[in-house]
Amino acid sequence: MNNAIEAIFLDVGNTLRIVINDTDFMSESKKQLVKITGSPMEPDAFIDLLEERYKILRKQAKEKLIEASEKEMWTKWMLPDFPIEKIAPLSGKLTRLWRDCDGRRIPREDVSEVVIELHKRGYKLGIIANTITETEIPDWLESDHLSDYFNTVILSSKLGIRKPNPEIYLEASRRIGSEPAHCVYVGDNPVRDVEGAQAAGYGMMILLHEPDTLKKEPPTGLNNPDKVIHSLSELLDIFPIRTTA
């Protein structure tokens, strides 16, 4: 059956990478962020203010399954009270710093090995991620020399729609050139990642068991993955070398 799978799409947050609670890194990011906005407010107070605004943005993003571009995020939602001509060019940098405020992202240790091996075995690889930044994931892939192994990188911030909207999965399969039935999605969210991939008609859904995610978003029992794995390396047991007919 696994021979039917041609393309493997991976989630990033809590699947390929985890967040480390690095307090020095986080407070430095906050400081930087406040500094480049030029806000006269106390840094902590300013961050609190931004958090209140970010909550409203998140709420509508999750309700409507849409994602604002970096520019829209900062000029419309986060800092509409700042001159647009000043904020718009800074929006990419601001988004990166805003992400860094909640921790440092590091890849799981077996990521490179698994990605390179799956590629070698003849699978097309892609990423489908809900993320507010347009540059962070491409930059990470580049710096870890993984870019060449991914045929397609789909980011909600660039596409404008979010998982679990099936459209994001359909767009991914179109771009990689494989029918949804021949695609698999690997993610850690028992609801969002399963529901969307299945609605899009993906051939398979694999859930990476991640206690942190399950605590925050327990499974509803409505959507069941095809397989559950406990480490990325288990993908190598599921996907053997592809034999092309």
Partner 1 sequence: MPPEIKAIFLDLGNTLRFVVKDELHMALARQAIIHLLGSEKDPDSFCEELNTRYKEYRKWAFDNLAEAPETELWTRWLAPEFPSEKISSISEELTYQFRQTNGRRVVVEDGKEVIIELHKRGYKLGIISNLISTKEIPKWLEEDGYEPYFSSVVLSSVCGKRKPDPAIYLEAAKRADVAPENCVYVGDNLNRDVTGTKEAGFGMVVIIITPENLAKSSFTDHNQPDIIIHKFRQLLDIFIERSV
SS3 helix, strand, coil % of the chain, rounded to 5?
50, 15, 35
Q: Which of 18, 32, 53, 214 binds partner 1 (CB under 8 A)?
A: 53
Closest to partner 1 by CB, 40 or 221: 40
55 part of the interface to partner 1, by CB under 8 A: yes
25 part of the interface to partner 1, by CB under 8 A: no
Stretch that binds partner 1, among 53-61, 136-144, 193-201, 225-233 (CB under 8 A): 53-61
CA distances to 51, 68, 73, 178 from 84, rounded to whole Å, are 20, 16, 12, 41
45 part of the interface to partner 1, by CB under 8 A: yes
Closest to partner 1 by CB, 39 or 156: 39
40 part of the interface to partner 1, by CB under 8 A: yes
What minimum distance in Å lies between the beta carbon of 53 and partner 1?
A: 5
Label residue 176 exposed, middle or buried (CB < 10 Å: 0-12, 13-18, 19+).
buried
What minimum distance in Å lies between the beta carbon of 133 and partner 1?
A: 21
CB 209 within 8 A of CB 174: no
DSSP state of 150: -
CA distances to 36, 62, 156, 237 from 107, rounded to whole Å, are 28, 25, 20, 21
What minimum distance in Å lies between the beta carbon of 50 and partner 1?
A: 10
Structure tokens at 5: 């799978």
Stretch that binds partner 1, among 46-54, 166-174, 203-211, 230-238 (CB under 8 A): 46-54
77 part of the interface to partner 1, by CB under 8 A: yes
Q: Which of 22, 36, 46, 151 binds partner 1 (CB under 8 A)?
A: 46
**Residue type present at position 133:** T
Q: Which of 2, 35, 58, 80 binds partner 1 (CB under 8 A)?
A: 80
CB 17 within 8 A of CB 107: yes
42 part of the interface to partner 1, by CB under 8 A: yes
Within 160-202, residue ranges assigned H as helices are: 166-176, 192-199
Which residues contact partner 1 by CB under 8 A? 39-42, 45-46, 48-49, 52-53, 55-57, 60, 76-77, 80-81, 83-84
